[in-house]
Amino acid sequence: MASNTLHIIGVAHTVVNRDNLICAFTAKVLLFPEVIQPFGWHVIEYSNEGSESHAHEHVVILTRERLQQLTRRSSREDPHHLDVDNQELGQEYQEILVQKLQARARPGDIVCHVWGPNIGVYDAVKNCHHVELSVGYGASPGLPFRIFESSAWMHYHYGKLGDDQDGSNYRWVIPSAFDDRKWIPSDEFEDYALFHGRVTTRKGINILTEIARRMPDLPVHVYGPGDVSPWLQDKPGNLHFKGSLFGDDRVSVVQRARCILTPTTYIEPFGFSGIEAQLCGVPHIGSSFGAFHETIMDGLTGYRCHTLADWVEAIRWSGRLDRKLIARSARERYSREAVGQQYDWALRQLADLSGPGWYGACSRKFEALAKASEPAQRRSRIWIYVPYFGSLPKYFHLYLESLRRNEQFISVIMLTDIDMTDYQLPPNLICVPMNLSALREKISRFLSVMYGASISPGSLIPDPYKLVDFKILYPELFHTVGAQYGANASDYVGWGDVDVIYGRFSDFLSLDSDYDVIGGFHGHLTAVRNCPSFRSIHTRIPDLLKLLTSDQVQLTDEVAYRKPLLDFLDERQAKMFYINRYFCDVVPERFVHLFRSDVHDSGGCFFDAYHPDRDIKEIRCNRDGRLTVLQTDGSSWETIYCHLQKRNMSLNIENPASEFMIRRDGFYTVEI
């Protein structure tokens, strides 16, 4: 089976965060997980401490302290090229990178090279597929598998190789994706022309100077790192060097511009700043060679120029262009979804080389196009049945908020006699009045019909915790209840817990994929296709009635259900989204000894059952609902949800929608 794991290599001399987006390669690493993970890929990022990406796992190469010791830059305003040839930094980064990659990479995984072809990595893990995710400036001949950001750049490299170089079916042209949630149009703009990039001669600063001289009434604002001294003498008064932009400040400056200028003099591989401007509806005026022939639709989204007069007239004519059309066109071509689909089929073609490869029966390209062309329809969703009796966790309002943030993904039907009037319930939580006696009677009738068993309701479920043994019945037991509230045959139905905090499910899973089971055999979340054969898998469990009628808890949902489920999936060649890789199962104090036999003070432990050798510093929930597990060793990973297993914790949060962190002893608001 082809692997779905991607190892993406960060840039040695930067941190993957918003302060370093002037580096197009760092920008690629930052957004790439959000682009590709919704298509079912598992992304492991290898980069320096402080990454703000949403990769499933973050493997730290250099700590903040060590990077600070090695860098030649003294502040974030200093240009990145000061460290490009920093051999001490590069060598140490490379040694740690290779070591950590070798420990994690498995045969058939895909290693994504961003800062050119890393031959040391290529040689170290040869049983993986290697692809250049964005071919850089001097990378020739490069790796066998390459993704170019423009057709112009691909053919430029073919030309460099000479006439005897044949084409390759495993080289693709895919543009970079952009965060179209951030780069949005503004209703107002000002009368200045904008340049945003590295301040160097080959980026066209001399051309900007001539434009400013020819148009003395037009302010020309130049933003970006670099030495401006060569242009200060005899500089036109309307040419302003404004320094570097960071974070969200970049957006407002771009949005307000009359137009953006990209007068690059070399063959531009792509040009990030021009696309960011187009997403904001800002006309893009650029050189008439390189990638600009693909990124600028002349007369629609901007203009391509040959002479100084072209530049001057293009700026004057830019006010006639439809800024809404520019923004709409850019979204159709460069949004995360549009580009993610292209990456998905290209990477699946590459992964198929572990199997039939070029001879495979399935066209990954047309498979993706077919899905994209299907008429819009109601999206599948997960329906979770939760009978609940007793006391709710003290952080239940945080659970509700995390559920609200997944409104497009999950619905919870809670069957309970608890008074919920003190809680603000999200639309995707449905409360169905039911007490424990009524549930016992319902189960008794169900067992009589399904198994021909005559079992007194009073002998069932002596304690609410015994419900864990009955969870495997829920998909069929509550089938009519779910149908009443909208669950249909395209959905998933199952069971779950409320001692969890959900992350962003959409970062990990697309329900339009061909999964048959979500989760598998976990009491905190398992869901199966809403069809009779899947809902009745419980009938395959040997001696199920004995397990259900025993006074002791048998953990049927996680033990007895496992083998019948796996056998059923194997028989049908069905597909399971194996959620173990993505959730954080915090070990309760009473079970610490099962993982760490040498620990005497279990109260001081805070770790995940699937990473028992590493302690958790905190679990951070940001404002958009993403959960990130931060380890004490500096590593981090995004999690689909964390299961707290009724851990005794204090609560220090007033607003459930605020950013908060979960530590060993409680929940705390993050002070911004």
537 in the same domain as 440: yes
Q: Which two tokens stand for residue 368?
A: 């993706």
Tell me the mean pLDDT per 10 residues along the chain, length 672. 86 89 86 87 92 88 94 83 89 96 94 93 95 76 90 90 84 93 88 95 97 97 94 95 86 96 96 95 97 96 98 96 94 92 94 91 83 64 94 92 92 93 88 92 90 90 92 93 86 94 90 83 89 90 92 90 91 87 84 74 75 90 90 89 82 85 90 69
Predicted pLDDT of residue 54: 83
Predicted pLDDT of residue 140: 64
46 in the same domain as 145: yes
Is residue 666 within a helix (H) or strand (E), and if so which, with residue range? strand 666-669
- CA distance to 14, 49, 98, 389, per residue, from 64 (Å): 10, 6, 19, 48
Domain that holds residue 15: 5-173
Predicted pLDDT of residue 594: 79
212 in the same domain as 149: no
Predicted pLDDT of residue 164: 73
Predicted pLDDT of residue 600: 59
- 352 domain residue, yes or no: no
403 in the same domain as 327: no
577 in the same domain as 489: yes
Q: How far apart are alpha carbons 387 and 503 in whole angstroms?
A: 22
The domain boundary, picked from 524, 556, 581, lies at 581
CATH number of the structural domain spanning residue 254: 3.40.50.2000
Number of domains in the chain: 4
Predicted pLDDT of residue 422: 86
Beta-carbon contacts of residue 583 (< 8 Å; ≥ 6 apart): 522, 524, 525, 639, 640, 641, 642, 643
151 in the same domain as 259: no
52 in the same domain as 162: yes
- 346 domain residue, yes or no: no
Q: How many CA atoms lie within 13 A of 501 on its CB side?
A: 30
The CA-based angle 94-57-381, given to 5 degrees, is: 150
146 in the same domain as 40: yes
Predicted pLDDT of residue 372: 63
Predicted pLDDT of residue 65: 94
- 118 domain residue, yes or no: yes
The domain boundary, picked from 144, 173, 202, lies at 173
95 in the same domain as 227: no
The domain boundary, picked from 529, 549, 581, lies at 581
- 215 domain residue, yes or no: yes
534 in the same domain as 454: yes
What pTM was computed for the model?
0.65
The DSSP bridge pattern shows strands 429-433 and 410-416 to be parallel
- 339 domain residue, yes or no: no
- 573 domain residue, yes or no: yes
- 349 domain residue, yes or no: no
- 293 domain residue, yes or no: yes
* Strand order through the sheet with 239-243: 239-243, 220-223, 193-196, 259-262, 284-287, 302-305
556 in the same domain as 450: yes
506 in the same domain as 395: yes
Predicted pLDDT of residue 83: 87
